[in-house]
Amino acid sequence: MSRSNDAVAGMLREYSELLAIAGGPAFKVRAYEKAARAVAGHPDDVTGLSGKELRGIPNVGDHLARKILEFLDTGSVTELVELRSRVPEGLRTLLTVPGLGPKRAHQVYEQLGITSIDGLLQALHEHRLQDLRGWGAKTEDNLAASLGEAHSAGERVQLGFALDLAEELLTRISAWPQVRRAAYAGSLRRMRDTIGDIDLLVAAGEAEPVMSGVVELPHVARVLAHGPTKTSVVTSTGVQVDVRVVQPDVWGAALLYFTGSKQHNIEVRELAVRAGLKLSEYGLFDVETGVLVAAETEEEVYARLGLPWIPPTLREGAGEVAAALGGRLPQLVRIGDVRGDLHTHTDLTDGVATLEQMVAAAKARGYEYYAVTDHAPLLYMQRMTREKALAQRKRIRELERTSGMSLLHGTELNVQPDGSLDWDEEFLSTFDIVVASVHSQFRQPRAEMTARVLRAIEHPCVHVIGHPTARVIGTRRPVDLDFDAVFRAAARTGTALEINAFPERLDLDGDLVRRARHLGVRFAVSTDAHAVPHLDFMRYGVATAQRGWAAPGDVVNTYPLDELRRFLAKPLVTAGERTFTP
């Protein structure tokens, strides 16, 4: 269910962006940015909180608390409305351009008079941006590439956003008396990293009351089509939702058909044809007699075709049907297999929750172990020091004695352009777990970027490479890597590659996970949580691992604690010699 926190955080982010694009003071821009992150990450819904309680949220002072209360009371903020009026509407659309950012948007507005994406594209075509201070031909090329990627992404939304919306809609629809079953289907059920339209399937004896109810849902902003068994609407967030009603006795066939993918359905239908059967959303029929053979459950339909049930995350026409026929489907990792989270942050660096809050939340999830991996000093804005790290370690040891959960003190290092890391080997060897990630200089040529990541993989103290491609979905392209070289090095040295569960990342993605798994790589599925609610992102990481055909044994944070410690207690050896066999 959505929370008021998300709407408030959106308001604060818009305030920050408009201030930046209007040339407002940098400290105010940062204040709104920090407050937005803090509110979004606050574990409790802000609705009904008093001004004093709001001020208890990190980075929310008196001034911002009053704005939040005004927004919660009226749905708007007077000062924000005034600020919107001072920024041309066309200029505000520049904020949607990946890789531009508020400061550069203000720069192109002030110096070139650009107030629209069309104007920006024209300036790129004429190479006028490279003459601006701080720009250049390479900056222009990167911006053009980002625009191209955003265009190719179209109107797709991130998995996490789509899943939250779908589950909220299903909660409402499932409560209607006519509804026997309801589920999401399509690419959302296959857990792709971005979603176009949301497909909802409903089993009900009477379709008309369901169709009438859909158009009255509170999220609906516009009705595209309203038929006897299918209704399409657009929500207030701009997402199209297609709702179909089927009879309960054909639920399985319909769910299989509308889950897809297209290629998976083609391969399954070909099996049916070879068996003298016909498969559609209405069921599996004998061609000669027209008799319905199976329809009520997916398991029945698959079984009649000689197949085990195939998990939706595998249904991409990527060999899963052949594997199922040959008894070679993997036993996929599941959320219940995960024993701990190995990459999380606190307010010591850029998180918004305290160490105590994050540990308590991890404990509530039933984890056997939990790692805190705050940023290291080369991410300069975090102002980390050895002294701060050691003080945190002391507090972690104290909490470990009372929490009943094993706590790992870690760090997330910054892989510099030359592959060097933040701290020396002696100090790094004192951490329980070391994650190394690329956080800057994302456009290095392939050879340089590959050498950079390989140097981190080869470092004897590095256990995990965090978000290996550094992508941000719809905003930042993956870095250019020789993946086979990276995967072979990771397998050889026993360095895990992360499947970052943050919905904006999902990095590695499913295709790369499968490719890396084939080369013997092990993975860490971690949330990169910066707030308590982010711990719930684990479900997206596990789904991505499943899309890569990963089994529990492929994921190091499914290991029991003693086995995980064996993985982490790697001797300091010459680069390239490290190996691990669980």
User: Please, are residues 247 and 203 in contact by the beta-carbon 8 Å criterion?
Assistant: yes
CATH 1.10.150.110 in the chain is located at 4-153
Task: Please tell me the CATH code under which domain 157-246 is placed.
Answer: 3.30.460.10
User: Which tokens belong to 511?
Assistant: 């295709």
Token pair in block for residue 135? 């720009």
As a whole number of angstroms, the distance between CA 419 and CA 449 comes to 9
The predicted model gives 208-221 an average pLDDT of: 93
Supply the pLDDT for residue 580: 38
Least confident interval from 19-28, 82-91, 294-303: 82-91
Order across the sheet with 292-294: list the strands: 277-280, 283-286, 292-294
Which of 450, 502, 220 is CA-nearest to residue 345? 502
| Domain spanning 4-153: CATH 2.102.10.10 | no
Q: What would the mean pLDDT of 406-425 be, rounded to a whole number?
A: 96
Higher pLDDT, 525 or 155: 525
Tokens 């296959």 — which residue? 190
pLDDT at 400 over 60: yes
Dump pLDDT digits (tens) for 331-343: 999 999 999 999 9
Q: What angle do CA 44, 48, 51 make, to 5 degrees?
A: 95
Of 240, 249, 272, 202, the C-alpha closest to 264 is: 272
Q: Which of 55-69, 123-137, 543-557 has the lowest mean pLDDT?
A: 123-137
Q: Which pLDDT tens digit goes with each residue over 467-489? A: 999 999 887 889 999 999 999 99
**Could you identify the residue written with the tokens 């995350």?**
313
Query: What is the structure's pLDDT at 428?
Result: 96
The Cα 91–Cα 555 span in angstroms is: 46
Distance CA 438, CA 448 (A): 13
Query: With pLDDT > 90 as the criterion, what percentage of the chain qualifies?
Result: 66
CATH of region 335-568: 3.20.20.140
Q: Classify domain 251-325 by CATH architecture.
A: 2-Layer Sandwich (3.30)
Does 283 have pLDDT greater than 70? yes
In sequence order, the β-bridge partners of residue 410 are 373, 433
- Residue tagged 């201070």 (tokens): 133
pLDDT at 381: 65
Q: Tally Cβ neighbours within 10 Å of residue 60.
A: 25
Q: 174 preceded by cis ω (within 30°)?
A: no
CA-closest candidate to residue 435, choices 355, 363, 516, 500: 500
> Does 171 score more than 50 pLDDT?
yes
Q: What is the pLDDT of residue 147?
A: 67
Tell me which range, 7-11, 295-299, 383-387, 400-404, is most confidently predicted by mean pLDDT. Answer: 295-299
Residues 128, 89: Cα–Cα separation, whole Å = 23
Which amino acid type is present at position 111? Q
Strand partners, 499: 525
**DSSP state, 353?**
S
Q: Taking each helix axis from N to C terminus, what angle separates 62-74 and 78-86, rounded to the nearest 10 degrees? A: 90
Please give the full DSSP string across 155-185, using - where no structure is assigned: T-EEHHHHHHHHHHHHHHHHTSTTEEEEEE-
Rounded Cα distance between 528 and 465, Å, is 12
- Distance (Å) of CA 101 to CA 17, 36, 203, 251: 8, 17, 46, 47
Categorize the per-residue pLDDT at 89 as very low, low, confident or very high, splitting at 50, 70 and 90: low
> Which residues of the chain are in CATH 3.20.20.140 domains?
335-568
Residue 190, SS3 per DSSP: coil
Query: Beta strands 194-195 and 157-158: pairing type?
Result: antiparallel
pLDDT of residue 218: 86
**What's the CA gap between 307 and 284, in Å, rounded?**
14
- For residue 243, the cross-strand partners are 200, 231
Residue span(s) of the chain under CATH 3.30.460.10 come to 157-246
Nearest to 418 by CA among 398, 388, 440: 440
How far does the chain reach from its first CA to its final CA, in angstroms?
A: 40
pLDDT, tens digit, 9 for 90 and up, residues 1-32: 456 888 888 889 888 888 887 778 888 888 88
Per-residue confidence (pLDDT) for residue 125, from 0 to 100: 76
**CA-atom Rg of the chain in angstroms:** 26
Orientation angle between helical segments 355-364 and 386-403, nearest 10 degrees? 40
Residue 3: the pLDDT is 65
More confident residue, 564 or 352: 564
Compute the mean pLDDT over every residue in the chain, rounded to the nearest whole number. 90
User: Which neighbouring-strand residues pair with 498?
Assistant: 524
Which pLDDT tens digit goes with each residue over 100-121?
777 777 787 778 877 777 777 7
Q: What is the spatial distance between Cα 516 and Cα 293, in angstroms, rounded to a whole number?
A: 40
Q: Could you give the 3-state DSSP secondary structure of residue 152?
A: helix
pLDDT in the model for residue 258: 97
For residue 451, pLDDT over 50 is answered with yes
- C-alpha–C-alpha distance, residues 540 and 562, integer Å: 26
Query: Which residues belong to CATH 3.30.210.10 in the chain?
Result: 251-325
Predicted local distance difference test score (pLDDT) of residue 578: 42
Q: Which helix or strand (DSSP H or E) is residue 108 part of?
A: helix 101-112
Q: Is 128 exposed, middle or buried (0-12, 13-18, 19+ CB in 10 A)?
A: middle
Q: Is a pLDDT exceeding 90 seen at residue 152?
A: no
State the greatest distance between any 2 C-alpha atoms of the chain, in Å, as a whole number.
79
The answer to whether the bond into 143 is cis (omega within 30° of 0) is no
What is the reported pLDDT for 577? 43
The mean pLDDT value for 185-197 works out to 95
> Rounded to the nearest 10 degrees, how much is the dihedral formed by the CA atoms of 270, 274, 275, 277?
50
Q: Tokens for 466, please give them.
A: 């965090």
Report which of residues 58 and 150 the model is more confident about. 58
- Sorting pLDDT into bands at 50, 70 and 90, what band is 150? low
Looking at residue 573, what is its pLDDT? Answer: 41
Residue that has been written with the tokens 């707030």 in this structure = 531
Secondary structure in 3-state letters for 232-275 = EEEECCCCEEEEEEECHHHHHHHHHHHHCCHHHHHHHHHHHHHC
| pLDDT above 70: residue 92 | no
| Residue among 98, 101, 102, 122 nearest 112 (CA) | 122
Does the pLDDT at position 401 exceed 70? yes
DSSP state letters, 487-554: HHHHHHHTPEEEEE--TTT-BS-HHHHHHHHHTT--EEEE--BSSGGGGGGHHHHHHHHHHTT--GGG
Cα separation of 515 and 549, whole Å? 10
In this predicted structure, what is the pLDDT of residue 576?
Answer: 41
Residue 343: the pLDDT is: 98
Q: Is 579 a residue whose pLDDT tops 70? A: no
CB 505 within 8 A of CB 511: no
Task: List CB contacts of 360: < 8 A, sequence separation 6 or more.
Answer: 403
